[in-house]
Amino acid sequence: MLLGSRNRTAASLSFLLFVIFSIASMRQMACAEPPVAREASPTDVSSAVDTGVEQERAHHWLEAIETYEKALKQWPDNGDLKYGLRRSKIHFGIERRYNDASFDNRLLRLPRYAALELFNDVLEHVRLYYVDEMSATSFVAHGTESLYIALGDEKFLDRNLKGVEHERIADVRRILRERFWNRPVGDYSAARETVSEVCDLAVAKLGISDTAVVLEYVFGGCNCLDEYSNFLTPDRLTDLHGNINGEFVGLGIEMKAENGKGMFLVNVLPESPAEQGGLHPGDYITQIDGTNCREMTTDEAAKLLRGPQGSRVTLVVQNPGEERSRSGQFIRRAVEVKSIPVAQIVDPRRGIGYIRMTGFQSTSPRELDAALAKLSHEGMRALIWDLRGNPGGLLPAATSVLDRFIDSGVLVSTRGRSLDQNSSYSASPHVKYDLPLVLLVDEDSASASEIVAGAIRDHKRGAIVGRQTYGKWCVQSIYHMPDGAGLRLTTAKFYSPKGNNYTKVGVKPDFAVSIADALLDAAESHTSFKNPSVLKNGQTGEGPRAQATDRHLVVKSRLGGRTLPPADDLDMKAALDVLERQMQPPTGR
């Protein structure tokens, strides 16, 4: 069972090339809304809408998503913003699919009957396993909306309807809006009939591939589910399993597109082909095998960077601090990604150890055992466990690492509509580390990280320091679909040992560190932590936000790699202060 990590949303601007390419998340929608004229909005709201629309016109979908999401925090009930956000996310999902080689080479080549069977399989899994009941009408309505928007998407049109007159396409869109928009679907068996009817219409009027139409209902239908559920192309499914297992084939870079500059390297993973070839965070990739990538999207460049193990790729790289670019050839190979990049003693005098855990993958329990053994050998008497920016991972990994610290009782429980999703996980007789413990969390600590925080809180096992966690308290399961595809569904919600579910709320820290102070000092810090005495000056590290910004990139780099937190980390200062109080001997009378 996958405890789906807090999936990096469509607004995420950085992607692990050999890890998991972020899935465009779609917020839950009831029924699709037609693009009708809306009432005028206040001037300040209008400005946000105008900005988003301009970004959409430029096909800058990620920027538009970020604009709409930011504005909706101020004006959460504005219809223009809501529809702009949904429209941008659907466009982003369409373009991601059509930049995906496995979608093009495998799914688009399915015959009509196979595509319809795939639609049936997805719908049946939603009916049986999705955590909440979902009507066939809602699923089909969102598929219709996705097709409607696809018929106005440049990437979709270029692949499926090149040369077809605009008037003919507009006529089909009009029919979709008038005859099929939110059309009631009696039951799940009738859903296929509706999709077949739309196929017949589109083929007759446009000569489009039946399969391209059906696949919009497969992918688009999932937009009615929560933001963590989606249909996966074969390549996305492979990436997801690589993320679970902690091993991938690729170069070992994390990048984001910067228009006109190329691919900005957010992170270069240790012991990867990229690191060994001299790439560094902050570099820009400007050419891939002779192709200029300065104007490419991240997905377009990622498509060129993909390749089988042992294959070669030539990159041209520019460092902002250097006048001349450099080129090099890199060999794609398997790269092991560790979920614990840092395990060190940060205060030898008091024996305080520090462990940073960046995810919960199948190797995490083994990595934690090795880290704890190493630190114990070095004299550890207390521990700071850093889960800031940790988006989650596997449910068994979360319970297994918790089992190292909690003596007895329930660690977490899950509840879903299907009986096999109802489980309770308890502590085992495993060897325990009974030592003072501080857990560092922030607003990007999600899912499995929150399982740990909830159990630490309910069992009073340690102190939680930082900021309120993300609030993703649900479980995803991965189902293998025909032709190598996959379906990720939210199948259960999880609950802390005391029965609490903190969905969209998160776990509050025992000792809060102001995000304003954290961000201010993060922007000013340039040094790394070298010795425990410097740590007392304090500084925070904010985990990576889903809505990435330049600040995001600076802060994320501070928490990545193999180095300790910076010298002025406020969260670390607070953690050390807490441990100092806990470790003081009781005062005698």
Residue 30 CB-density burial (10 A; 0-12 exposed, 13-18 middle, 19+ buried): exposed
Per-residue pLDDT of the chain (589 residues; tens, 9 = 90+): 555 555 433 333 233 333 222 222 323 333 444 444 343 334 589 999 999 999 999 999 989 999 999 999 899 999 999 999 999 999 999 999 999 999 999 999 999 999 999 999 999 999 999 999 999 999 999 999 999 999 999 999 999 999 999 999 999 999 999 999 999 998 888 999 999 999 999 999 999 999 999 999 999 999 999 999 999 999 999 888 877 777 778 898 888 888 899 999 988 888 899 999 999 999 999 999 999 999 988 888 988 998 889 999 999 999 988 889 999 999 999 888 889 999 999 999 999 999 999 999 999 999 999 999 999 999 999 999 999 999 999 999 999 999 999 999 999 999 999 888 999 999 998 889 999 999 999 999 999 999 999 999 999 999 999 999 999 999 999 999 999 999 999 999 999 999 999 999 999 999 999 876 555 444 443 333 222 222 212 222 222 222 222 222 222 333 445 678 887 899 999 999 999 998 887 665 5
Which of the residues are catalytic? 447, 458, 472
Instruction: Take residue 72 and report the two structure tokens written for it.
Output: 């909706």
CA distance 317 to 257: 14
Domain coordinates of the chain in residue numbers?
26-32+44-226, 247-336, 342-583
- What is the Cα–Cα distance from 131 to 124, expressed in whole angstroms? 13
Amino acid (1-letter code) at residue 459 = H
CATH class of 247-336: mainly beta
Longest dimension (CA), the chain: 92
Phi, psi for residue 317 in degrees, rounded to 5: -125, 140
| Amino acid at the residue 21 | F
Q: What is the DSSP string of 145-159?
A: HHHHHHTT-HHHHHH
> What is the C-alpha to C-alpha distance for residues 97 and 216, in angstroms, rounded to an integer?
10
Q: Give the long-range contacts of residues 181-185, CB within 8 A, separation 24 or more.
A: 181/32, 181/34, 181/141, 181/144, 181/145, 182/31, 182/32, 182/34, 182/137, 182/141, 183/137, 183/140, 183/141, 183/144, 184/137, 185/135, 185/136, 185/137, 185/140
Distance CA 232, CA 38 (A): 34
Coil, strand or helix at 563: coil
Q: Which residues, in sequence order, are CB contacts of 256 under 8 Å at separation 6+?
A: 13, 14, 15, 263, 264, 266, 298, 548, 553
Q: Output the six-digit token pair for 73.
A: 């925090």
**Residues linked to residue 377 through DSSP beta bridges, in sequence order:** none
Please provide the DSSP assignment of 295-353 as one string.
Answer: T--HHHHHHHH---TT-EEEEEEE-TT-SS-EEEEEE-EEEE--S--EEEEEETTTTEE
Q: Which three-class secondary structure state does DSSP give residue 31?
A: coil
With H, G, I as helix, E, B as strand and everything else as coil, classify residue 283: coil
Strands 486-495 and 568-569: unpaired
What amino acid occupies position 550?
D
Whether domain 342-583 has CATH 3.40.50.10300: no
Is the overall model pTM greater than 0.85, yes or no? Answer: no
* Count of residues in the chain: 589
The DSSP annotation for 510-522 comes to SEE--HHHHHHHH
Residues 31/182, Cβ–Cβ less than 8 Å: yes
